[in-house]
């Protein structure tokens, strides 16, 4: 028996993975929902990143929160966990790239917009958090 499979088949590991799945799902659910409430404000945040053409900003501000919300809900409910973890990983990788570009531009003090309006998180702290979340997502893909 493969050592990794044995470790992940213990009840403690299974319980821990479920807790992480619920936490990640709740984070994505909250992030998506908070942006859904104020798409205009989220569009301004996307615009401030200066990465997308103007024509894509509003559609992104409307669609992205729904993708986050539905992916979070899927993780929270344990539905299509591997697919949801892959979607989360993809989104988080895109976010890391966007954050990294703006950190390199010297814009670390701008609001990341990760959880809607009113959060004062720096881009650097959001980048670190997202790298940790990517690691968690990869663990879901590997253990399922």
pLDDT at 144 over 60: no
Q: How many percent of the chain have pLDDT more than 90?
A: 59
Alpha-carbon distances, residue 52 vs 42, 77, 98, 140, 143 (angstroms): 13, 33, 10, 30, 35
Check residue 18 and give its pLDDT: 86
Of 136, 114, 115, 139, give the one whose Cα is nearest residue 127: 114
Tens digit of pLDDT for each residue in 48-95? 999 999 999 999 999 999 999 999 999 999 899 889 999 999 999 999
Q: How many percent of the chain have pLDDT more than 70?
A: 88
Check residue 108 and give its pLDDT: 79
More confident residue, 140 or 81: 81
pLDDT at 8 over 80: no
Please give the full DSSP string across 75-87, using - where no structure is assigned. Answer: HHHTSSHHHHHHH
Tens digit of pLDDT for each residue in 93-105? 999 999 999 999 9
């Amino acid at each position: 028996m493969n050592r990794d499979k044995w470790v992940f088949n213990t009840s403690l590991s299974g319980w821990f993975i479920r807790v992480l799945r619920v936490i990640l799902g709740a984070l994505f659910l909250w992030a998506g929902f908070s942006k859904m409430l104020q798409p205009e404000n989220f569009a301004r945040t996307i615009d401030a990143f200066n990465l997308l053409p103007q024509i894509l900003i509003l559609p992104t501000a409307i669609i992205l929160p729904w993708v986050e919300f539905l992916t979070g809900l899927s993780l929270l409910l344990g539905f299509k966990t591997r697919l949801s973890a892959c979607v989360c990983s993809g989104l988080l990788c895109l976010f890391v790239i966007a954050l990294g570009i703006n950190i390199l531009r010297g814009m670390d003090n701008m609001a990341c917009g990760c959880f809607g309006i009113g959060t004062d998180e720096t881009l650097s702290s959001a980048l670190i958090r997202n790298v940790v979340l990517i690691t968690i997502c990869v663990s879901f893909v590997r253990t399922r």
